[in-house]
Chains A and B, each alone.
Chain A
Amino acid sequence: MSTSHSRVAKRVADLPPSGIRKFFELVERMPDAISLAIGEPDFTTPWRGRESAIYSLEKGHTHYTPTRGLQELRDAVASYLERRFGLSYHPDREVLITVGAAEAIDLALRAILNPGEAVLIPQPCFVSYPPCTVLAGGVPLPVPTRVEHDFQVQVSDLEAACDDRARALLMCYPNNPTGAVMDREALEGVMRWAEQNDLIVIADEIYAELHYDGGHVSAAALPGARDRTVLIGGFSKAWAMTGWRLGFAAGPQDLIGGMAKVHAYTVMCAPTMAQEAALDVLYGCDGEVAAMRREYDQRRRVIVRRLRDMGLDCFEPKGAFYAFPSIARTGLTSEQFAERLLQEEKVAVVPGTAFGECGEGFVRCSYATSLPTLEEGMARMARFVARAAG
């Protein structure tokens, strides 16, 4: 296809089509399929948050907030980060409320990158990292992670992928799509290596609350890490607030300042009623968050066991709400597997390749779905695997 007559800018036209999008179109035509391909909670936002948004509207709070977000919310985010992860940020200078973690990722890349500078991106990863890097004028440097290492990024792999254009490392733990978490020592090694190479670390920790094996260790909390790290978080996952479009970034003043500048020129501020709702869920919904975490944890055990029972090798995910089984023994590629599973058994999973080349041989199964649905999905998938591997 020639893009010479395209009215769309070349750097946009040249972005590869999203693997998710392609698959979405297939699944959309099959409305009765069981979808294990959904990257958002099945729970509804805790009522306290919804009620507070209604109240916000009743009070007529329909105006812009300060660019960096409501003062009270920045205060609340700073104290939340302190309480949960032992982090200390100044709410006025070092915290920014964004339109989802998605915007924070984009802002961080745009604020940091000069044209031609590169970003190390451990893969498989969230789909937006490479395209946002490119749109910010940067170059993505994929770093494979492997199941042998529990999908924790290795310094040796970073070393191999790094070149002198590298400015930043963008990583996500607990990870979408693998469910991997970094243990403290491994994370320390990576952060030390980042320091030696003078890299800025963009840590997408949106799944921090969904950690099933002890507590989450924030990259920014490690010795010496805080001032080179942009920490990204959000309300979408643990508080089940995807539709509200609300996230945050915390980091050193210069980087957050740069991000705030772009944010001010592009979106001005995050939605007001969403911010007011977030304020209430941050203070009052620990019980609901714990209950959702407990439910995900139970589903996690069920899905991993079912996947293993059907003969697939499945790494034990420790965070987020995804299982990432190897489908190698079926002899199919990830795409073939996902397409045939959909066609033959009406179950949607996402091919691992949607998250980077090294996702080949894997599929992402989301367990953000009720247990009965999950169990039915697993039963169908087991039938399919038995046939395919037979």
Chain B
Amino acid sequence: MEDILLALEQDGRLTAAQLAERLGRPEEDIKKQIAKLEAEKVIRRYRAVVDWDKSDSERVFGFIEVRVSPQRGQGFDAIAARIMEFPEVHSLYLMSGTYDLMVVVQGKTMREVAYFVAERLAPLESVLSTATHFVLKRYKVDGDIMVERTENKRLPVTP
């Protein structure tokens, strides 16, 4: 199973036939296992890694540090549930350290992100404070390096 996951993590578009050839297993087995992984939501979905800076669309990311007062009996989960449903929220993590939640917000402009923080996030009852940091450049995202690197040359024939 792990070999399928590792291969698909690299390239989600690999077909069962390609995986079968690369992993040296029957295509039918691969198909069955992928179906199982999908059913169990081990594989949640397949998507492209987009370098928005290269595209024509604008995409701005803000990292918002949020301090909250946890609610009795529910800890941070209740407030997290309130926050994560907003489509503007790209990722949400509970953190150790000087703040509680890291909210990654995406929008078309800085203004849009700032507006979301001011209008939606900050006013939530249990939110004590927010600190907004805008992303200026994305160097590496989810394991993918987003800046161009020079291609390395090898001699065309070596022993």
Contacts and interface: CB of A to CB of B under 8 A. Distances in A.
Interface string A147-186: 0000000000000000000000000000010000000000
Given A294-B3, A294-B6, A298-B7, A38 B156 contact: yes
Contacts, number: 52
Nearest to B2: A294
Given A44-B152, A298-B7, A350 B157 contact: yes
Contacts of A176: 159
B21 A348 contact: no
A301 B24 contact: yes
Contact of B21 (A18, A126, A301, A350): A301
Contacts of A35: 154, 156-157
A348 B24 contact: no
A363 B63 CA distance: 55
Contacts of B21: 301-302, 305
B29 to A, nearest CB: 15
A40 interface: yes
Contact of A38 (B6, B7, B22, B158): B158
A20 B22 contact: no
Residue from B6, B23, B157, B158 with most neighbouring chain A CB atoms (10 Å): B157
Contacts of B7: 298
Contacts of A294: 3, 6
Nearest to B19: A298
Contacts of A37: 156-158
Interface residues of A, number: 28
Nearest to A29: B156
Nearest to B25: A301
Interface residues of B, number: 14
B155 A24 contact: yes
A44 B150 CA distance: 12
Contact of B158 (A40, A44, A305): A40
A109 to B, nearest CB: 17
Contacts of A27: 156-157
Contacts of B24: 301
B155 to A, nearest CB: 7
Contact of B157 (A20, A128, A302, A305): A20
A291 to B, nearest CB: 8
Contacts of B156: 24, 27-28, 33, 35, 37-38, 348
Interface in A95-133: 126-128
Contact of B22 (A24, A28, A39, A301): A301
Contact of A20 (B3, B23, B152, B158): B158
A344 interface: no
Contacts of A42: 154
A42 B152 CA distance: 9
A89 interface: no
B27 to A, nearest CB: 13
Interface of B: 3, 6-7, 21-24, 152, 154-159
Task: Report the 4 A-B pairs with minimum CB-CB distance, sorted nearest first.
Answer: A298-B22, A24-B157, A37-B157, A39-B158
Given A28-B157, A38-B156, A302-B21, 16 more contacts: A18-B159, A24-B156, A24-B157, A27-B157, A33-B156, A35-B157, A37-B158, A38-B154, A40-B154, A126-B159, A294-B3, A298-B7, A301-B21, A301-B23, A305-B21, A348-B157
